[in-house]
A = this chain, B = another copy of it.
Amino acid sequence: MLITIDLQSEIPLYLQLKTQLIKGIATGELAEGEPLPSFRQLSADLGINMLTVKKTYDQLKQEGYLTMHRQKGAVVNGQLHARMTDQYVLTLKQQLAPFITEAFCYGMKKAQFTAICNALYEELEEGKEND
């Protein structure tokens, strides 16, 4: 799986990495049980610090995406889903609100916004089918 880090971006490195790994899991590109590269390996490949990678792995572990393994390193965890609690939906709404307000301010129509979301969603779904 190809991972790219933009050192210029204002988005923290560990978040860039996290987002891409989650996407890999979502699309199935990183299948359940598949091992991820070790801290050292990945940090060397990306040219960033070990701790930054570890921080990412720690968060993914805490959120249930990964399991850390003394022998095999980090492996992808199945059994996501069924975590879509009301609490999550609430949090999501709060997170989306500012973007929607901004889009509205910029004169974007509801239909266009929906189209963008659908496009992103379908990207993931297609990725999953192609596994």
> Interface residues, chain A, CB within 8 Å of chain B?
7-8, 10-13, 15, 19, 22-23, 25-26, 62, 65, 67-72, 80-84, 88-89, 92-93, 95-108, 110, 113-114, 116-122, 124-125
Contact = CB atoms under 8 A, between A and B. Distances in A.
Query: Which secondary structure characterizes the binding site on chain A?
Result: helix
16 contacts: A10-B68, A19-B101, A22-B101, A22-B105, A23-B97, A80-B106, A81-B107, A83-B106, A84-B106, A88-B106, A95-B99, A96-B116, A97-B120, A110-B121, A110-B122, A117-B117
Given A22-B105, A23-B104, A110-B118, 20 more contacts: A7-B70, A7-B71, A7-B72, A8-B69, A22-B101, A23-B97, A26-B104, A26-B105, A62-B62, A80-B107, A81-B105, A81-B106, A82-B107, A84-B108, A89-B108, A97-B120, A100-B120, A100-B121, A104-B121, A114-B118
Contact of A105 (B11, B23, B62, B95): B23
B101 A99 contact: no
Contacts of A125: 104, 110
Contacts of A114: 114, 117-118
B107 A83 contact: yes
